[in-house]
């Protein structure tokens, strides 16, 4: 078996396991079409956005490459970013959340067609948004370029999925750490998509405040939606696979509240130097540093839970999840460093911030989502992944590609920033120093596209139930933990 969770011990007796097997099998059967559909659509957006990114990287060397109006750099860059954030990360997150809530509810809830309709609306909104950007119809807000119609459809789809989640979840016990982070992320996404767009469209905020609102929404989609769901997935999977409780539950709950308190205040740090109050920038910079405590605390909590477990080095899902969690800690450190006034002064107008985002999205969020899909799909398909070699190649391509892409952007930003601070450097020298790392950034997309393509192929085989036979989707055996 490729999933090393099969080596862990039961937390229930054989009688309890035999009793739970039909229930879990029924739960997986009920949500399978909706969850697989969300994963499949997310993978399409992953490949498309990465292909856009590869074209962008080539255009940095050859600006005339694919010189069509809808593939200019100014349109392709926001289209690639939005397709990755809203198409891949958000859609895959919703798929994992649906499966987690269904499993935690302990019952096969009806009405999964509501999820499918919500997924259709969400993906329709993303499709309209990406096409609108490529056609030149985009709003002048970084990270919020989609037209209003796109966000209306996405919000409607999210409401349908959230309604199913609220109706489905039932538990006599209190919510675990994983569910707390997941619910917090989903709640914030719905509230921000509605409130932020309403304030901007209704002209309730204008001028500088409008830009602050857009920055708050765009930053929150990353740090208050995607990252909390990533942490929730890790808090769910690590104890499941290792068969151990979370290292420190009370610490994890304290870090949960501290995380949402600090992450909600970091959005204005990137607006330094603009016509906004200095105190707002200072608060955001301080919050970026304070964010280190809950993020690094959660990383330690998760790594301590997995430390010493036999399955840690052999489970595909654990390899991806722990790698992504570790990179999340590195990303938070870089965010805090870039928020320092002396550092921000040097790298503010460079690619340094894009490097931090690339590391967070491709190196952390994407890897954790891959780990979750590696864990979930065997339960839904009733067979194991076909090839451990494909999984290894996928890991190497995705991990090395993501780290290489982020490193090249970070180094480019540092090189350009040092030249900008040096008053004797000319503009051409600044550009030359920064662009010297672009070839490495371009080559990283070869690794990324190769790794993502292998995973997409492997996923399609699993969706078609072509894999190593493993019995029922829940696979409860005397040596298995599901």
- The three-state secondary structure class of 383 is strand
How many whole angstroms from its chain centre is CA 57? Answer: 22
pLDDT in tens, the chain (482 residues): 444 444 433 333 333 444 455 588 889 999 999 999 999 999 999 999 999 999 999 998 888 888 888 889 899 999 999 999 999 999 999 999 999 999 998 877 778 899 999 999 999 999 999 999 999 998 888 888 999 999 999 999 999 999 999 998 877 676 789 999 999 999 999 998 888 888 888 888 888 888 889 899 999 999 999 999 999 999 999 999 999 999 999 999 999 999 999 999 998 887 887 788 888 989 999 999 999 999 999 999 999 999 988 787 888 899 999 999 999 999 999 999 999 988 998 898 899 999 999 999 999 999 999 999 999 999 898 888 888 889 999 999 999 999 999 999 999 999 999 888 877 778 788 888 888 999 999 999 999 999 999 999 999 999 998 877 755 333 223 344 33
pTM, full prediction: 0.92
- The three-state secondary structure class of 212 is helix
Query: For residue 385, which of 309, 481, 460 has the smallest C-alpha distance?
Result: 460
How many whole angstroms from its chain centre is CA 65? Answer: 30
- Of 3.40.718.10, 1.10.274.10, 1.20.210.10, 3.30.450.40, the CATH number of 4-469 is 1.20.210.10
Cβ–Cβ under 8 Å, residues 429 and 415? no
- The three-state secondary structure class of 468 is strand
How many Å apart are CA 144 and CA 141, to the nearest integer?
5
How many Å apart are CA 425 and CA 420, to the nearest integer?
7
How many Å apart are CA 286 and CA 275, to the nearest integer?
19
How many Å apart are CA 198 and CA 251, to the nearest integer?
37
How many Å apart are CA 482 and CA 480, to the nearest integer?
6
How many Å apart are CA 168 and CA 186, to the nearest integer?
15
Query: For residue 255, which of 312, 359, 329 has the smallest C-alpha distance?
Result: 329
Backbone angles phi, psi at 383, to 5 degrees: -150, 160
How many CB atoms sit inside 10 A of residue 135's CB?
A: 12
């Amino acid at each position: 078996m490729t999933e090393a969770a099969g080596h862990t011990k039961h937390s229930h007796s054989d009688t309890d396991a035999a009793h739970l097997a039909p229930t879990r099998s029924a739960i997986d059967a009920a949500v399978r079409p909706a969850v697989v559909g969300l994963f499949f659509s997310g993978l399409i957006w992953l490949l498309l956005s990465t292909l856009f990114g590869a074209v962008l990287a080539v255009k940095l060397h050859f600006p005339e490459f694919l010189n069509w109006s809808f593939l200019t750099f100014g349109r392709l860059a926001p289209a690639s970013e939005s397709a990755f954030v809203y198409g891949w990360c958000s859609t895959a997150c919703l798929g994992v959340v649906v499966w987690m809530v269904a499993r935690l509810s302990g019952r096969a809830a009806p009405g999964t067609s509501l999820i499918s309709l919500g997924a259709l609306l969400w993906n329709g909104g993303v499709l309209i948004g990406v096409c609108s950007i490529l056609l030149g119809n985009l709003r002048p807000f970084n990270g919020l370029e989609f037209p209003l119609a796109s966000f209306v459809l996405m919000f409607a789809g999210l409401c349908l999925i959230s309604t199913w989640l609220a109706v489905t979840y039932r538990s006599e016990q209190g919510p675990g750490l994983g569910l707390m982070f997941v619910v917090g992320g989903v709640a914030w996404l719905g509230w921000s998509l509605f409130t932020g767009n309403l304030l901007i469209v209704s002209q309730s905020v204008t001028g500088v405040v409008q830009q602050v609102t857009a920055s708050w929404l765009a930053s929150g989609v990353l740090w208050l939606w995607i990252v909390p769901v990533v942490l929730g997935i890790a808090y769910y999977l690590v104890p499941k696979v290792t068969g151990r409780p979370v290292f420190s539950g009370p610490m994890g709950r304290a870090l949960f509240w501290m995380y949402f308190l600090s992450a909600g205040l970091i959005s204005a740090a990137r607006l330094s130097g603009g016509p906004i109050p200095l105190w707002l920038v200072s608060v955001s910079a301080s919050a970026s540093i304070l964010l280190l405590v809950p993020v690094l605390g959660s990383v330690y909590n998760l790594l301590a839970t997995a430390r010493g477990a036999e399955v840690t080095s052999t489970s595909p899902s654990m390899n991806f999840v722990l790698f992504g969690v570790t990179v999340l800690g590195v990303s938070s450190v870089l965010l805090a460093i870039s928020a320092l006034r002396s550092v921000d002064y040097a790298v503010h107008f460079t690619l340094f911030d894009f490097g931090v985002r690339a590391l967070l999205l491709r190196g952390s969020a994407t890897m954790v989502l891959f780990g979750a899909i590696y864990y979930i799909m065997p339960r839904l398909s009733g067979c194991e992944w076909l090839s451990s070699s494909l999984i290894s190649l996928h890991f190497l391509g995705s991990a090395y590609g993501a780290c290489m892409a982020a490193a090249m952007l970070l180094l480019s930003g540092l090189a350009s920033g040092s030249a900008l601070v040096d008053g004797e450097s000319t503009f051409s020298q600044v550009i030359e120093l920064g662009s010297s790392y672009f070839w490495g950034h371009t080559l990283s997309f070869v690794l990324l596209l190769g790794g993502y393509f292998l995973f997409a192929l492997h996923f399609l085989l699993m969706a078609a139930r072509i894999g190593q036979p493993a019995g029922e989707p829940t696979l409860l055996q005397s040596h298995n933990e599901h």
